[in-house]
Structure 1
Amino acid sequence: MGTTQRPKVTQPEPSTALAYLDPRYWDERFSQEEQYEWFKDYSNFRHLIQAHVTSHSSVLELGCGNSQMCEELYKDGVANITCIDLSSVAVAKMENRLISRGFKDIKVLQADMLELPFGDECFDVVIEKGTMDVLFVDSGDPWNPKPETISKVMATLKGVHRVLKSDGIFISITFGQPHFRRPIFNAPDFNWSVEWTTFGETFHYFVYVLKKGRRSSYEDTTVKRFETPPINLLHEELESEDYVFRISVDEIS
Structure 2
Amino acid sequence: MEDTPTPSTALTYLNPSYWDERFSKEEQYEWFKDYSHFRHLIQPHLTPHSAVLELGCGNSQMCEQLHKDGTTNITCIDLSPVAVQNMQKRLLSRGFKDIKVLQADMLELPFEDECFDLVIEKGTMDVLFVDSGDPWNPKPETIFKVMATLKGVHRVLKAGGTFISVTFGQPHFRRPIFNAPDFNWSVEWTTFGETFHYFVYVLKKGQRSSYDDIPPVKRFEASPINLLHEELESEDFAFRINVDELNY
TM-score by length of 1: 0.88
Shift of 1:201: 2.6
Structure 1 residues 154 and 120, CA gap change in structure 2 (3 angstroms): same
Structure 1 residues 50 and 193, CA gap change in structure 2 (3 angstroms): same
Shift of 1:247: 4.3
TM-score by length of 2: 0.89
Question: Structure 1, residues 26-74: CA drift from partner, whole Å, max 9, x if none?
Answer: 0000000000000000000000000100100000000000000000000
User: 2:144 corresponds to which residue?
Assistant: 151
Q: Is 2:209 the partner of 1:216?
A: yes
Shift of 1:17: 1.2
User: 2:174 corresponds to which residue?
Assistant: 181
Shift of 1:91: 0.1
Question: Which of 107, 119, 132 is the equivalent residue of 1:114?
Answer: 107
Q: Is 2:58 the partner of 1:69?
A: no
Give the root-mean-square deviation of aligned CA atoms.
1.8
Q: Is the 8 A contact 1:38 1:129 kept in 2?
A: yes
Shift of 1:221: 2.0
Question: Match of 2:235, as an amino acid?
Answer: E
Q: Is the 8 A contact 1:85 1:112 kept in 2?
A: yes
Q: Is the 8 A contact 2:113 2:157 kept in 1?
A: yes
Q: Is 2:229 the partner of 1:235?
A: yes
Q: Is 2:91 the partner of 1:89?
A: no
Question: Match of 2:169, as an amino acid?
Answer: G
User: 1:14 corresponds to which residue?
Assistant: 7
Q: Distance in 1 between matches of 2:240 and 2:182?
A: 33
Q: Distance in 1 between matches of 2:171 and 2:9?
A: 27
Q: Is 2:44 the partner of 1:51?
A: yes
Q: Is the 8 A contact 2:168 2:239 kept in 1?
A: no
Aligned residues: 231
Question: Match of 1:153, as an amino acid?
Answer: V
Shift of 1:11: 1.8
- Could you list the structure 1 runs, at least 4 aligned residues long, displaced by more than 6 angstroms after superposition: none
Question: Structure 1, residues 166-186: CA drift from partner, whole Å, max 9, x if none?
Answer: 111000000000000011000
Q: Distance in 1 between matches of 2:85 and 2:43?
A: 28
- Extract unaligned runs of 5+ from structure 1: 1-8, 224-233
Question: Structure 1, residues 186-240: CA drift from partner, whole Å, max 9, x if none?
Answer: 00000000000000131110000000000010112289xxxxxxxxxx9223212
Question: Structure 1, residues 68-99: CA drift from partner, whole Å, max 9, x if none?
Answer: 00000000000100000000000000000000
SS at match of 1:115: coil
- Extract unaligned runs of 5+ from structure 2: 217-227, 244-248
Question: Match of 1:155, as an amino acid?
Answer: A
User: 1:80 corresponds to which residue?
Assistant: 73
Q: Distance in 1 between matches of 2:89 and 2:214?
A: 45
User: 2:196 corresponds to which residue?
Assistant: 203
